[in-house]
Amino acid sequence: MKIPSLNQTQRRTAFALLAVAASMPLLATRSLAQGNEARHGAGEMSEHATMRASRTGLDGYCPVCVVEARKWEKGRPDIHSTFDNVTYYFPNQAIRAKFDANPQKYVPALNGDCIVCYEKAGKRIAGSVKHAAIHRDRLYLFPGEGEKQAFLKEPAAYEASDLAANGVCVVCLAKANKHVAGSPNHTVIHDGLRYQFPTAQEANVFRQSPQTFLEKGMMASKAEMQSVSSNAVQLVGRSGCAACEFGVTPLGAPEELGLAVVDASGRVTVVENAHEDYPQIYQDRFEGKQLSLEGKIVKSQGKIDWVQPTSLRVIH
């Protein structure tokens, strides 16, 4: 199936949301080992959802051990938790409790599907624990070494590929017809995709009935994509502090003040992960230096873009 008049990234986003809408359970459940009542809905699930709910994640290896200790340790089937219809095993109750407190920190991207395949072809292809990578404390699985190396060579091209609706709050769009940027602090993972919301209130509304907002998510993706003529960006501008001057922060590190590049037109570009990838430029951001930036736009709202950089240098 081809989506006319859309580029590769647009087609990927549309494919993904169509696939989610087609295969989505009537209600998504999250069950803990002790049978806690599901927080993501209650009631019957479709046959597809039941099959997904019985799937074991990471071939039984403990996700907390992998992410925190970089150790592949098998869990026990009697100590488990189910998150986003995937069941994970843990070696003891304490580690399981750590997972339950913040499962989004430990689950693999796209529920273990290959994010490179998803970005390039809009397809959900299962990854393997034999071809795993950790990038910025997030676990990724790939079906083969080729996809893994493609990711490691240019992770910025893929790490935001599972961000649904380009980070726009689909609840705000559905209820108020407003494009409101979500926050990484209020992220809900549904079918492996990350939906972001400005507050916990919108996140909880989505959890109660995610299927209600899937169509709006597709509309948001198209609208946001169409507002950016190309995902690639190349610009020159002065450095600045994203939070101090413009009240925004990086998507991937909201606790950081962030580096902004302001071009001659006044458009603001927030450079993702500048504090780690370009520490000296980040430290000197208040000095108004002229910077040359190349990268990929991962989100755009109003006069502000968020970019995963491939090159950032000081001109003078």
Q: What is the pLDDT of residues 275-296, one digit of tens each?
A: 999 999 999 999 999 999 988 8
pLDDT of amino acid 281: 95
Find out whether 35 and 20 touch, Cβ atoms under 8 Å.
Answer: no
Lowest mean pLDDT among 124-138, 191-205, 299-313: 299-313
Select from 5, 20, 48, 64 the least CA-distant residue to 216: 20
Instruction: Please give the Cα distance from 309 to 290 (Å, whole number).
Output: 16
Q: Return the higher-pLDDT residue of 301 and 19.
A: 301
pTM score of the predicted model: 0.62
Q: Give residue 106's pLDDT.
A: 97
- Which CA distances in Å does 34 have to 96, 205, 288? 11, 25, 56
pLDDT bracket for residue 224 (50, 70, 90) = low
